[in-house]
Structure 1
Amino acid sequence: MPNIKSAIKRVRTNDTKNAQNSSVKSAMRSSVKKAEQAVANNEENKGDSLKAAIKQVEKAASKGLIHKNTAARRKSSLMKKA
């Protein structure tokens, strides 16, 4: 545990940001899996789930959680499966 005031604050902010980033990344993964499942089962709502998954991927890329090329690859893969 750090003794310096700024280092203590840094630990707090890092923990907060880590939790937020994990949440966004997890939501992205979940929506991508849900979209892939919908496409595989040819469900009625596959268009909506696909749209939501692409939105989550773009959101993660804009926040810098995944690289923009990774985001493009994931979106392309989803569209190809659809």
Structure 2
Amino acid sequence: MANIKSQIKRVKTNAKANLANKSFKSSVKTALKKAETAITAKEANATELVNTAISLVDKAVTKGIYHANKAARIKSKLMLKAN
């Protein structure tokens, strides 16, 4: 553990952010998996699930969790499966 007061605070905020980012990444992965299974099962709500997954991926980019190129790759793969 650090001795400097600002570094102690920084460690705490990094831990908090790490938990938040991990939680958001998990929700994105869950949405992607749901969309992919709906596509393969040819369910009626597949397009809706794809749209929510893409929306979450875009939010992850704005939050700085994913790089823009990674998000583009994810969305491209999902749209290829959907079409």
TM-score, normalised with respect to structure 2 = 0.91
Flag structure 2 segments of 5+ consecutive residues without an equivalent: none
SS of the residue aligned with 1:56? Answer: helix
Other-structure match for 2:80: 80
The equivalent of 1:13 in structure 2 is: 13
- Aligned-residue identity in percent: 50
Q: Show structure 1 runs of 4+ deviating over 3 A.
A: none
- Alignment RMSD (CA, Å): 1.0
Give the match's secondary structure for 2:2: coil
User: Could you tell me which residue of structure 2 aligns to residue 65 of structure 1?
Assistant: 65
1:4, CA displacement in angstroms?
1.7
> What TM-score comes out, normalization by structure 1 length?
0.92
- Quick one: distance in 1 between partners of 2:73 and 2:3? 44
Q: Aligned equivalents of 2:67 and 2:7: distance in 1?
A: 29
Residue correspondences, number: 82
The answer for unaligned runs of 5 or more in structure 1 is none
Q: CA deviation at 1:3?
A: 2.0
